Amino acid sequence: GQQLNQSPQSMFIQEGEDVSMNCTSSSIFNTWLWYKQDPGEGPVLLIALYKAGELTSNGRLTAQFGITRKDSFLNISASIPSDVGIYFCAGVDQTGANNLFFGTGTRLTIIP
């Protein structure tokens, strides 16, 4: 199955710093999704993007659906300790529900 290229694989930042991660694909997607997963839990949907060029915010999180429909990025502003976790991008291609492809994840660690 297809996997999205997500970068960076891991990030070590200090509390209060801004975070940026991105996801690229060789295929066009109709929907881009960003999830956060905590240890022992299921992924939690953070932001859903449905239109090329769309910029959507959810509190301190902002995500954009790339114009080419082959990429997306997620920014977190003023990071706090509860932001620690693994962030996954996911894309749904033109064939629909059965083709939700996940990125390999970005592990975010906050250094005290």
Partner 1 sequence: DAGITQSPRYKITETGRQVTLMCHQTWSHSYMFWYRQDLGHGLRLIYYSAAADITDKGEVPDGYVVSRSKTENFPLTLESATRSQTSVYFCASSEGPLTGQYFGPGTRLTVT
Q: Which of 55, 67, 78, 100 binds partner 1 (CB under 8 A)?
A: 100
3 state DSSP class of 86: strand
Burial class (CB in 10 A: 0-12, 13-18, 19+), 21: buried
Residue 96, interface with partner 1 (CB under 8 A)?
yes
Could you give the C-alpha distances from 74 to 15, 40, 65, 96, 98, in angstroms and in order?
17, 23, 9, 23, 24
Residue 103, interface with partner 1 (CB under 8 A)?
yes
Residue 3, interface with partner 1 (CB under 8 A)?
yes
Q: Which residue has the tokens 């997500």?
A: 6
Residues 9-38 that bind partner 1 (CB under 8 A): 30-31, 33, 35
The least distance separating partner 1 from the CB of residue 23, rounded to whole angstroms, comes to: 12
**In the complex, which residues of this chain contact partner 1 (CB under 8 A)?**
1, 3, 30-31, 33, 35, 40-45, 48, 50, 88, 92, 96-98, 100, 102-105
